[in-house]
Every structure is written in C-alpha cells, then in structure tokens.
Amino acid sequence: MDDRKFSVLIAGGGSTYTPGIVMTLLESQKQFPIRKLKFYDNDAARQKKIADAIAILMKERAPEVEFLATTDPETAFSDVDFVMAQIRVGKYAMRSVDEKIPLKHGVVGQETTGPGGIAYGLRSIPGVIELVDYMEQYSPNAWMLNYSNPAAIVAEATRRLRPNSRIINICDMPIAIMDRMAKIVGLPGRNDLVFRYYGLNHFGWWTDVRDKTGRDLMPQLKAYVAKNGYWLQDQEPGKEASWISTYKKAADVYALDPTTLPNTYLKYYLYPKYVVEHADPNYTRTDEVEAGREKTVFGECARVVANGTAKDIQFQASNHSTYIVDLCTAIAYDTKQRLLAIIPNEGAVANIDPEAMVEVPCLFGANGPERLSMGNAATFQKGLITEQNCVEKLVVDAYEQHSYIKLWEAMSLCKIVPDAQVAKDILDEMIVANKDFWPELK
Ligand code: NAD
Ligand code: LMR
C-alpha cells in the first residue's frame, strides 16, 4: 500500500495566490495527501498576514498537518518534496512602474509583455535562481513548480543557468482558457479535453481540441470564439473589466488565423495600438489588482484572524491552484497525465529552435515531463515565435553579460515597440527605476 504523504513548501508565502492553493491542498487530501505545509517569503510582515489566518484554518481542518511560516531558507527548504514558487521580485510597486513607463511612451505596459515583461524578467531571474539553489542545497530530490512570472524569460534563464535542476515552469493562462472551452462545449472541466497546443509562454495556439471520445470540438469552439472570444457572457458576473476585455478581444486574435485558437496574451502583440488606446496610464492592471484581489485576500485573512476562526473562510480553489495540485499528483503517483509545461523544445515543435523554451503538452510522471511532438509551426506562428524567442534570449544574454546593448536589442526587436529610439528612451528610464534590482549594465 502506498501510504506516502508529502511535504509542500510555498515560496512566496505572502502571495495573493497562497490561500487558494491551501484550499486546494486541503480539498485534495485523497488525491495528494500532505504531512507538512510550509511558507517561505523574504517579507516577513506580508507573509505573516496570510500565515496567521492559514494557521487557524490548518488547526481547524487538518490538525495532523504540520504548518509553519518562515523567512529562513534552511528551515523552509529542508525536508520538502514539492516547492510551489510564486514570488514577485519588486512586488506590486515595481509592477506598476513596469506598466506605466512604457505607456508614457505610447507602448503597451504589461506585466509579462514587452518592456514591462523584460524589466520584470531581469528582476525575477536572480530571485528564482536563489530558490532553485536553496532547494538543491536542502532538498535535492524535491521538484519545483515555478509560476513566478515572466515565465518565458525565467524558463530561458533556468534552462541556461541551472540546466540540471528539477524546476518545471508552468502557467495558468491556457488552463483558464481550457476551463472556458469546456464550459463553451458543455463539459465539466479542462481535464475532459484532449488538446494539442504549441508556442512560447503567453504566446501559443491550440491546433486541436477533442473530447475523450475523439469528437472534434474545434468547429464549435471556433464558431463561439469568432463571436465572443473566450468571454462567457452572463456566466461570469463580477469579472474584472480588464479580463472581460481580454477574453472578448480573443475574437480579433482568432480572426488572424482561423485554423487555430489563440492564447489571450497574443492581443498585446497583434493589437498593441488598440491596447494602448484603451489603457489609462494612471490606472493600470496593478491598480486594479491592488484594489481588487490583494485587498480582498488580505482583508479576508484579517477577518479570520480577528474572529479567531476560519469556519466561514471565503477562499476557494481556482483553476490556478487545481492545476498545480494536478501536476504534483502526476509526479508523485506517476500518472502520465497530459499537462502543459514550458520546457526545452528539443524537437517538440519541429521547425523551431531546439533550444527554445516552448509551451507544449507533456505526459507527467515520476521523472517529470515527457514532451509530446506537436509537428511544425505554421509560417505565421513560426515567424512570431522566432522573433519573440530571440527577444527572450537577448534578455537572458543581457542578464548574464550585464550588457546594455543586448537589452536595447531585446526591447527594439520586441514586436510591440515601434522603434529603437523609443526602446532606448524606455530602457533608460527603466534602468533608473530598477537600480535596486538589475545588474549594473555596461
Ligand atoms: P504578490 O506580490 O502578492 O506575492 C509575491 C510574494 O513574493 C510577496 O509576498 C513577496 O514578498 C515575495 N517575494 C518577492 N521576492 C521574493 C524573493 N526573492 N524571495 C522570496 N519571496 C519573495 O504577487 P502575486 O500577484 O500573488 O503573484 C505571485 C507570482 O505569481 C507573480 O510572479 C505572478 O506574476 C505569478 N503568477 C503566475 C501565474 C502563472 O500562471 N504563471 C499566474 C498568476 C500569477
Ligand atoms: C495577476 O493575476 O496579477 C497576473 O499574474 C495576471 C493578471 O491578472 O494581470
């Protein structure tokens, strides 16, 4: 009988996503039993606000599971089977800067896209590498599921700088879209779909979506997306305005290639003019997150702590957290479930650089992911992917070589930046804003 129970560390314990993950872990005890849950963060005060509420929850719902929150790497990373990494280096204050500087220059300002994503990438690389090193030092057999953004740049950095590490870079955007696809065709959820998908992170396309009997769902999905994008209309009351707009805009992204279904993030690359025209440079996504998700999560934690009970706690499992627990389950029990991950291409997309970090379906088991072959990228996709992948590689070159020129090239090559002078103006402002985080560029 397999009576193993696992020890899980959430790195970035102060993240707004932490309570949702804890709820999923508690609800998944049959599927993925845990014996220990730890939080690690380098901001003790922020983490404590979440940890104090979760300590009450754990005591009430799973007293047999040991729980602790720490800022000490050795305490955090020792005796761990899975690390769930979700750090935001520079926090929301720097995300806000990433969004607002480009917008001042008429360029898309976004967390993972364009100059904002590049700036965030340079901050995230050392933060995530530090976590990998702690894991290798204190729990060398553990796996890290990393979804700290910008996942594409972080993945390229870990491929190059820690090639043998047990880190799997993942993203919940295609997962959220597949849950929407399931709703559109009337199936319970994304795990009822069999799909083919390829691209880079936040930069990919579905080429095939079927149900488990092999029925082709693409015609029904395409007809829906052509009209509504991935917006579920009256099924999503209370959804934030920016997300409704993103889901709707997928209709225009789809129109460019009616043979596939797109990732929503492609709107930033294919319709940057529209995005900038509809942005408010004084109130960006960070402001929306701070006024929305962050306030709600920390408010709910404070309420639980004040009441001294988590009986009526309002946190819920989400597609984000269930995906992470699905991945842990697949690795722990060698299920060979077909799940998306960002991994070295090595032929998975035949006509794309074998060294690109691509996002493709993999069979997940005890040895990690086994990539599935997605064939050739079509010409349109090949062109877009090749350019964007070179941007991501140049960012990691700039990080490794402390090179101003490489970073300027990355920003100039980026599809949403109109010319090299604009790229330089943005870059020079970003260097000043990121002086506490970036390597000094020569
Ligand atoms: P958040 O700011 O609420 O939480 C991040 C936490 O990381 C903070 O508590 C912060 O103190 C901590 N932190 C920062 N640098 C650290 C370091 N070097 N070591 C340890 N802890 C550190 O952020 P959030 O909005 O909850 O997002 C968390 C992360 O998850 C971000 O990187 C975000 O982009 C990412 N994310 C990824 C996906 C995906 O699917 N790939 C989806 C959503 C969010
Ligand atoms: C976030 O949730 O903050 C991001 O990772 C994606 C978004 O909502 O902008």
What is the average per-residue pLDDT within 221-243? 92
More confident residue, 237 or 149: 149
Task: Indicate if ligand 1 lies below 6 Å from the C-beta of 86.
Answer: yes
Per-residue pLDDT of 61-74, as tens digits, reads 999 999 999 999 99
Any idea which ligand is nearest the CA of 284? 2
Taking the centre of ligand 2 as the mean of its atom positions, its distance from the CA of residue 114, in whole angstroms, is 15
**Candidate of 40, 46, 86, 297 to mutate for ligand 1, largest count of ligand atoms within 8 Å of Cβ:** 86
Q: Is the pLDDT at 234 greater than 90, yes or no?
A: no
**Residue 1 banded pLDDT, cuts 50, 70, 90:** confident
Exposed/middle/buried for residue 440 (C-beta within 10 Å: 0-12, 13-18, 19+): exposed
Residue 120 catalytic?
no
pLDDT at position 148 is 98
**Residue 180 banded pLDDT, cuts 50, 70, 90:** very high
**Candidate of 111, 247, 319 to mutate for ligand 2, largest count of ligand atoms within 8 Å of Cβ:** 111
Task: Indicate if ligand 2 lies below 6 Å from the C-beta of 326.
Answer: no
Task: Indicate if ligand 1 lies below 6 Å from the C-beta of 16.
Answer: yes
Taking the centre of ligand 1 as the mean of its atom positions, its distance from the CA of residue 113, in whole angstroms, is 16
Q: Whose CA is nearest to atom 9 of ligand 1?
A: 14
Please state at what angle helix 151-161 crosses helix 379-401, rounded to 10 degrees.
60
Active-site hit among 198, 265, 269, 399: 265
Task: Indicate if ligand 1 lies below 6 Å from the C-beta of 147.
Answer: yes
Task: Indicate if ligand 1 lies below 6 Å from the C-beta of 96.
Answer: no
Taking the centre of ligand 2 as the mean of its atom positions, its distance from the CA of residue 99, in whole angstroms, is 12
Per-residue pLDDT of 236-283, as tens digits, reads 888 888 999 999 999 999 999 999 999 999 999 999 999 999 999 999
**Residue 349 banded pLDDT, cuts 50, 70, 90:** very high
The atom number, within ligand 2, closest to the CA of 240 reads 8
Q: Whose CA is nearest to atom 1 of ligand 2?
A: 289
Q: Whose CA is nearest to atom 9 of ligand 2?
A: 285
Residues 6+ apart with CB under 8 A from 352: 345, 358, 377, 382, 385, 386, 389
Q: Mean pLDDT across the chain, nearest whole number?
A: 97
Per-residue pLDDT of 287-332, as tens digits, reads 999 999 999 999 999 999 999 999 999 999 999 999 999 999 999 9
pLDDT at position 158 is 98
Contact 252, 231 (CB under 8 A): no
Any idea which ligand is nearest the CA of 287? 2
What is the average per-residue pLDDT within 217-240? 94
Q: Whose CA is nearest to atom 6 of ligand 2?
A: 111
pLDDT at position 235 is 86
Q: Is the pLDDT at 189 greater than 90, yes or no?
A: yes
Torsion of CA 81, 171, 297, 46, to 10 degrees: 60
pTM, two decimal places: 0.97
pLDDT at position 239 is 85
Task: Indicate if ligand 2 lies below 6 Å from the C-beta of 285.
Answer: yes
pLDDT at position 181 is 98
Per-residue pLDDT of 365-375, as tens digits, reads 999 999 999 99
Q: Is the pLDDT at 383 greater than 90, yes or no?
A: yes
Torsion of CA 334, 340, 344, 345, to 10 degrees: 120
What is the average per-residue pLDDT within 109-128? 98
pLDDT at position 43 is 98
Taking the centre of ligand 1 as the mean of its atom positions, its distance from the CA of residue 17, in whole angstroms, is 8
Residue 265 catalytic?
yes
pLDDT at position 366 is 97
What is the average per-residue pLDDT within 19-29? 97
Active-site hit among 81, 98, 172, 397: 172
Any idea which ligand is nearest the CA of 117? 1
Taking the centre of ligand 1 as the mean of its atom positions, its distance from the CA of residue 131, in whole angstroms, is 13
Task: Indicate if ligand 2 lies below 6 Å from the C-beta of 172.
Answer: no
What's phi and psi for 121, nearest 5 deg?
-60, -45
pLDDT at position 360 is 98
pLDDT at position 199 is 98
* ipTM (interface predicted TM): 0.97
What is the average per-residue pLDDT within 69-97? 98
Task: Indicate if ligand 2 lies below 6 Å from the C-beta of 88.
Answer: no
**Candidate of 88, 94, 293 to mutate for ligand 1, largest count of ligand atoms within 8 Å of Cβ:** 88
